[in-house]
Structure formats: C-alpha cells, structure tokens
Structure 1
C-alpha cells in the first residue's frame, strides 16, 4: 500500500513540481493539495494521509498553527515541514510540538522522498544539515544553562572529591597543617585546595567558608 500524502504550499508551481517528482515513486501517492493553512487542516482531517508535507508561511494559518493542531488532534498523521525559511522560532516551534522533521526547499528531491518514508514509519529528526546544526546548538545551550542552574542550586557539585574533603575539615575547624596531616598531603597542597574553594564558592575568608558549610548542611552539630 502506498504512502498517502497531502501537499500544502501556497505556491502552485512548488506543489506541481513536488507532486510530479513524488508520484514517480511507486510507494508514494499524493491524495490532496492545499494552498493555505485552513485548507491544509481540512484536507488532512478529510483524507487522513500518512504524511502531510507542510510549508511554513501560508495564508489563513501558518504551518506552525497547522502542525500544532494536527499533532494534538490527528497524532497518526506525520507532519513534515518543507520550507524556504530557516527562522529559529519556526524550526524549534514545529519540532517542539511534535513534527517529524524540518527540511529546506533546497534539499535534494531524493532526500525529501526518504524523509517522507521515514516520517510515515514513525521516525523523527528529519532535518536539513544547517537546520540540524541550529537545533543541536540550541539544545546544547539549553543543557549548559540547566547545568549552570544546577550548579547554582547545588554549590557542592562543582567541587572535586579532594576539595570536598578539604572543605569538610575546614568546616570542622582544622587549620592547613592539621588537614594536611589528615589527608597525607603537603601543607602547600592544602593551601592550594583552600584557595580553590575560595574561587569556586566566591568566598574570601576561612570564617566565611565555615559559616557557608554549616548553613549548607555539610556539617551539623
């Protein structure tokens, strides 16, 4: 059984060219076309295609509007965006609502057909190279931001195992000589670890380190 498609684009020439190419593939069948967002939504709901190939900027409703409604109301219809626009709000918007992919109109026609087959099979992440790079960088930035927030919430997460040991001994009142003896390190090494604690915690004195450790619950009475 062929993969059933709806093509949605407000440019007739684009639809005609894409349709002509796709229908040369024996496993792909275009069952309807749409020239605006409302028509795209109606055609998808009427024909229940396997995949809707969707432009982003169309009259009536944007591709993002259509994608969001279809992924909520018609989860069995895979949404594959084919657009000339590389606006990050479009890209991240449709991917975040559950679209199977976002391809540039500059993508080779063979790659578009491959993405359609993948989307119909339930695969996600069909992205043009540049769009994929934007998406990856965005999520890397998000992970880095989350990591920074976690470190701010948990100040001990930035400390090495040795620095945590030194902090515990400082909090218990040991001077550099005593903690060096307990950890079997030189006094100069102990001083370096204490200095590293100042830098990582943003504190300036030993007394502040002790108070901070007690407030944070590192040591208790």
Structure 2
C-alpha cells in the first residue's frame, strides 16, 4: 500500500472515530435531557395537590407521583413481598397488600420497607394486619415503574417460608386498577409505615459531562490525525 493510500485509510479511520464519538455525545446528551425532564415532572407532581381517586381511575397516566386520598380496608392474606430492596444500607423487602376502596375497586398498596429474615429461606417478620376501615394518603405509581425484582406471596399467618413466586404483571395489578400506591400516611396508627418508600434520586446525573467528554475525544482524534499528517 502506497503512502497516499495509507494516508487516506488513516483519515477514514479518524473520521469514523469522530463520528462514533459524536454519536456517543449525542446519546449522552439526550439521556441527560430526558432525565432532567423526568426529574422536573416528578418534582412538579409530588408538590401538586392530591388528585381524587375517581380521576385516577379514568386517567392514571397523567397523575403518576401525585398524592391521592382514599378510604376502605386492607384485604386479609393478600400480601406480596418485593425482595432486593434496601433501606439505610440494610437488605429487606417492600411489603405490598391489597386494599379494597369503598367504591369497590381493589388496588395494591406499598406499605413500605421491612427487614429481611435471619436467613435466605426464612420469611421476614410481617407487621400485624389491621383490617378496619381507614383513610390513607398514597403516592401514585404506574405498574411500569415497579422496581425490578422477584415477587412472591406469603400468607398472613404462615411464617414458614416462601410459597409462591408471582409475576409482577399478573400479581400486582388488577384489570380495573393499572397502578399502585406508595403509602405515605393513614388514619390508623397501626398502619403507618416505619420505613416509607422513598422517592428516586432526583439528580441529572453525569450525562452532560459525558457528552462533553465524547466531544473532547473527537477533538483529540482530529488533532492527532493532523499531527500525523504533518509528519
């Protein structure tokens, strides 16, 4: 291969690397924009007034992260544990329980974090059930925002172990209510979560810095090609 062909090949490789760097920069930029928009939406929804439960039933997608108030009672034995959850560095579960609203709708309520059992096969200690009528305030979550993890059912009174693994799409939603609530407060002292579900981290992350970094790499490639050509 002659010098001219080698120079042309080196230039083409450099241009390809520049294109890849610019693509990566654009990808990181759009990720940063999307994350900022999501954080802004969450902040706005969290600070907005509570939405009526009837409105949620009609259009839940527009009210994610907003608060709502509803009355009814928890259903005995209808509990789900979501594992691989942490609170202050400790391993545990999120406890979800089915709630029957006074209008007849059934909805899963995330009652917060509970500590894991003493071993991997030991069931955690569940809080006592309170099936009396209560009024609660919860934060709206869509089923697509469920944390990744494995689902399995535990009977209320049987602490002997895990008895059934559930699929998130089939176990935590009902055809009538395609969302769930993070429990924030309740009129019953027995149901107040000791470790409520926290909001996700609302930072924009390092995406914009990564985008600038990739642009810098593209500049280095061009500068390096220029120096090689001068030789």
Which structure: greater strand fraction? 2
TM-score normalised by length of structure 1: 0.25
Which structure: greater helix fraction? 1
Greater relative CO, 1 or 2 (CA 8 Å, sep 6+): 2
TM-score normalised by length of structure 2: 0.24
